[in-house]
Structures are given as structure tokens and as C-alpha cells.
Amino acid sequence: MANSELKQKQQQEHFLVRAWYQQSFWLYLLLPLSCLYGLLIGLRHKFFQWGWLPSAASAVPLIVVGNIAVGGTGKTPLVVALVQALQQAGFKPGIVSRGYGSQAPSYPYWVQADDSPSNCGDEPLLMALRTQVPVVIDANRRAAVKHLLAHSDCDVIIADDGLQHYALQRDIEIVVVDGKRGFGNRLLLPAGPLRETVSRIARADYVVVNGGGLTQVLPDRKTPLAEQTMQLRGQALIGLHSVDDTSNTIEVAAWPYSKQVHAVAGIGNPQRFYTSLRQAGFNPIEHSFADHHDFTAEDLQFDDQLPVIMTEKDAVKVRFIEGLSDELQRRCWYLPVEAVIDEAFYTAIIAQLHSKILPAKKQSI
């Protein structure tokens, strides 16, 4: 897909996302299409259940981290945190992802830490930079898993945003929900943001609510541990030049420059980013773009000398912009965030891997 076509698609998606979460009345005109979509996805899921459509199992445990709603919910920080927890427990994790917006020379594609986001997409590149574990992208997750296992010694795989990819069997499902935005108008695509109905959450092993606030409207969970609240915490700002080495880092509390800043966000829910900046004491001038926006130098040029702060996902793309002056780059910073969640969440997953999933995998070999 050409860059101009991709940008037009992103703008259209951005317009729809705003309408879904503002619950615009005109969306009810699309209800017949949503009913058709619901029928098709329901039949598709049944076909996989009945074995009429093929579904392959991974030779190693596979954990899916996904959501039922279009737009950012905080999956990427959770994947990074889960990788780190698995590493501390002695596992060797790898990641497979769709690679939205990627234009790789071929698929499956192995993401390198020094890759271009045009090759692999922004989120896979961010995950490769943050985790330093193998990351493979392919819209066909089965092919991505096969490639990953053939070229690495991974003993557990995390599938980023693969909840609806039923052609790939999973051992653990984690659904991430935006606790602030919820489910918009709670309608299925295209009238609403839902890929599947809210009741789908009840079939998952764990639900993680980003920011909290939705517990009372979620389906009943299997165990008390199956529902967790996650917070995204950013403690330091990093200069744009330091995306790959974090050498130019300033603690938020020690920020020496103007607290009025240009806040740039090309993510699913930019308001979460602006809120985090305000909570840190900044006065952000908001500049929202479509999720996965392909930035240009003009997007970051403003009529003043104020600092520019962006998300980490945007920074991995902005550093590749041609024509970005040295002066502007020196004023650009990004705020990496960490997923903060109860340790019991990781403990439960690791125990589940050791007690049930690994023994079953060994038996099947």
C-alpha cells in the first residue's frame, strides 16, 4: 500500500474512532451492516469450533494479548511487561504480530532493532527495541509462529493483537480493555468499535483493565485473579536522538524547560497521553493524529520554540523523518511508559504455564 493510500485510510479510521466513542447518532444508519458482520463472525467462530476451518497449535505455549475493540487499549506496554516477567521466570519468549502498516520486502518478516518502521510497523519495532527478543510479523500468524520457531530457541510465544485470529490455537488469552473509553456505543463494526461482542470477554483467561473503572460492566470472570487493573506510568523523558540508547534522559520531576509543551500523539487514545502529561505537571498543547500516523517534518513544526513531547510509539517513526532540522530534533522528546500491574497476574500466568500447559505440550510431542 502506498504511503498516500495508507495515510488516507488512517484518517478515515481516525474519523470513525472519534464517532464511535462520541456515540454519534448517525452511526445507527450502519446497524444493518453491523448485524451482517455479527452474523459472519459468529459463523466463523463456530466453523473453527466444529473443525470446519483449520486451526493449528504451536509447539510451545502461546499467549494471545488482544482486545475486542478497535483502537489503542494499552496492549503494547502489557506485551513488553509480560515478556520481561517471563524472562525473569527463566523463559525465552518471542513475539508475533500482524505488523499494521508494514511494507516488508517479504513475509514472514524478522524485525530488527535498527529496522525502519516502514518495513515492520511502529508497534513491532517498539517491542523489538524495548524487549530485545525475537519479533516476527505476518498477517498470517501461523506462518509467523512457524518462522519464529524455525529460527530461534523461543520456548513461549506472545501473539500481539491476535484475539480474533482463530486459525492459531492459543493456550492463554488476555483481553485488554480501555477503562476510560470503555466500549464506545457498544456496537459491532462498522456502527461501533467492537470486533466481537462484550460477552466475548467471558471466554478469555484474563482481562486487564487499563486505568480501571469498568469492573461493574464486565462479564463475570472465572477466578478473582482473572481480572486486573493496569496503570501506565511514565517517569522520564528521553531525547529523540536517544530512541535506541536512552542516553539523554531527564526525570519528569527534574524537567528544566518550559512546562508548556506541544504534545503530539498518533495513537488510538491520545487523551490518555495528554492526561498523563497534565498529571506530571505539564501544560500540553494537543496535536492529535490518526493511530499509526505517518509523520512528516511539517507535523512537528510550530510557530514557537516550545519543547515537543510525543509518545514512544510515535518516536520510533519520527526519528526517520527526512528534513527534520537538528534544532527541532533537540526540542523533541518522548515519554516511554511502563505497565504497572499486580505481581499476582504474572505469578498466575507462570504457574499456569508450569502446571498445565507445558506438561500438555510435552505429552503431545
For residues 124 and 211, state if they share a domain: yes
User: Could you report the per-residue pLDDT of 306-320, keeping only the tens digit for each?
Assistant: 999 999 999 999 988
Instruction: Identify the domain containing residue 63 by its residue range.
Output: 3-231+340-364
For residues 193 and 178, state if they share a domain: yes
> pLDDT at position 182, please?
87
Rounding to the nearest 10 degrees, give the CA dihedral for residues 68, 70, 72, 78. Answer: 30
Asked whether the predicted pLDDT for residue 108 surpasses 90, the reply is yes
Asked whether the predicted pLDDT for residue 9 surpasses 70, the reply is no
Q: How many domains does the chain have?
A: 2
For residues 332 and 344, state if they share a domain: no
d(C-alpha 112, C-alpha 1), whole Å: 22
For residues 211 and 269, state if they share a domain: no
Amino acid occupying residue 195: R
What percentage of the chain has pLDDT greater than the value 90?
Answer: 74
For residues 42 and 122, state if they share a domain: yes
Asked whether the predicted pLDDT for residue 122 surpasses 50, the reply is yes
d(C-alpha 217, C-alpha 66), whole Å: 19
Q: What is the mean pLDDT of the chain?
A: 90
Asked whether the predicted pLDDT for residue 217 surpasses 80, the reply is no
> pLDDT at position 212, please?
75
> pLDDT at position 14, please?
72
For residues 44 and 174, state if they share a domain: yes
Neighbours of 117 (CB within 10 A): 25
pTM exceeding 0.85: yes
For residues 242 and 218, state if they share a domain: no
For residues 151 and 17, state if they share a domain: yes
For residues 181 and 169, state if they share a domain: yes
Amino acid occupying residue 178: D
Which is more confident, 96 or 240?
Answer: 96
For residues 305 and 320, state if they share a domain: yes
> pLDDT at position 365, please?
45
User: Could you report the per-residue pLDDT of 14-68, keeping only the tens digit for each?
Assistant: 788 889 988 899 999 999 999 999 999 999 999 999 999 999 999 999 999 999 9
Query: For the domain that residue 227 is a member of, what is the CATH number?
Result: 3.40.50.300
For residues 332 and 356, state if they share a domain: no
User: Could you report the per-residue pLDDT of 328-351, keeping only the tens digit for each?
Assistant: 999 999 999 999 999 999 999 999
Lateral strand order in the sheet of 283-288: 249-251, 236-239, 332-335, 308-311, 260-265, 283-288
User: Could you report the per-residue pLDDT of 130-189, keeping only the tens digit for each?
Assistant: 999 999 999 999 999 999 999 999 999 999 998 999 999 999 999 999 988 889 899 999
For residues 263 and 302, state if they share a domain: yes
Asked whether the predicted pLDDT for residue 101 surpasses 50, the reply is yes
Phi and psi at 109, nearest 5°, equal -125, 130
